[in-house]
Structure 1
């Protein structure tokens, strides 16, 4: 049996790769550290975006573990241009995995990125934390459980925690309560 934890980052000031955590997000990162210290964590892998790294930094410091930056955990790019009706387009990406907006990434490609990282982590037989972003996390959850769709993705919190367990070729996802 292998277990990993997927974490959505704490509250942030924006969507740019270098966006920092808000003061509330910094408090959340400290509380997330306290909550996760109870787990036997051996590895920490994070999106290269600042908000993801800053969300898990307190835990990495407490456990004296390095944070491995993984480009494939960066947020999915919905479009290269601003979209007034972005939620309409995002909803469509859940029903059509090949749908893309101008300059955007399809759900199929984005899901493939996070799935590769999750599968590699599960094969390590160590307990790892993977820190990522709301849309990418939602696409992964949707790939395992098709009932997790657009509406459910809107219910994700900052931060949010999911436990992923692999037991004999079966992947089980459990939503853990965060503060």
Structure 2
């Protein structure tokens, strides 16, 4: 049985805190997502609990009259609870070693697994709204060639379609 999912990285936001809201540009991008999905079948909307993720999908939710299901497993990955001045290097290391774990954080493997659990439970044609690192890790889980450089190329927002059939998966960027 084939399942199709739409992975969305949230629109531009005022910051990284869980309660950071969308910028004015981010609100315009959220409206653009509604137009982008015109004609695409959507059965469910599942979002990270972070404000910027929810605000990114609210216009689409309203236009389709679909409620937004909040799932904590789509929250952004915590790389570390310590201040990491070299966080970008640490993040790159974690893409190359999925088991690498920093103080108070979760490994890439742990984060990808919790995100994949949502995919296992989600119905076909579901939209999942998440964050850059989580999205990158999910994409790498299903497309081995996806790595740190591809993560750096993600935009706000970004949209990928993930198709899973049995043990096979395909990943394709939809947002231009």
Structure 2 residue matching 1:12: 3-state secondary structure: coil
User: In structure 2, what is the equivalent of residue 39 of structure 1?
Assistant: 40
> Is this contact kept in 1: 2:4–2:126, CA < 8 A?
yes
CA distance in 1 between counterparts of 2:16 and 2:46 reads: 20
The alpha-carbon deviation at position 98 of structure 1 amounts to: 1.5
| Bigger shift: residues 161-170 or 96-105 | 161-170
TM-score, normalised by the number of residues in structure 1:
0.94
Question: What is the CA-CA distance between 1:27 and the residue it aligns to?
Answer: 0.3
1:72 counterpart SS class: helix
Question: 1:91 aligned to 2:92?
Answer: yes
Structure 2 gaps of 5+ residues are none
Name the counterpart of 2:152.
154
Contact map agreement 1:37 1:59 (CA 8 A) in 2: no
CA distance in 2, matches of 1:146, 1:113: 18
Question: 1:171 corresponds to which residue?
Answer: 169
| SS of 1:105 mapped into structure 2 | coil
The match for 1:29 is 30
Asked if residue 13 in structure 1 is aligned to residue 1 in structure 2, the reply is no
TM-score (normalised: structure 2): 0.96
Contact 2:143 2:169 in 1 (8 A): no
Q: What displacement does 1:167 show?
A: 2.7
User: Gaps spanning 5+ residues in structure 1: where?
Assistant: none
Contact 1:141–1:148 under 8 Å retained in 2: yes
Q: Paired residues, what number?
A: 175
1:81 corresponds to 2:82: yes
> In the TM superposition, what is the alpha-carbon distance from 1:172 to its structure 2 partner?
1.1
Pairwise mapping of residues 101-116 of structure 1 onto structure 2 (< 5 A)?
101-116=102-117
Q: Distance in 1 between matches of 2:120 and 2:150?
A: 23
CA displacement at 1:88 relative to structure 2: 0.8
Q: Does 1:131 align with 2:129?
A: yes
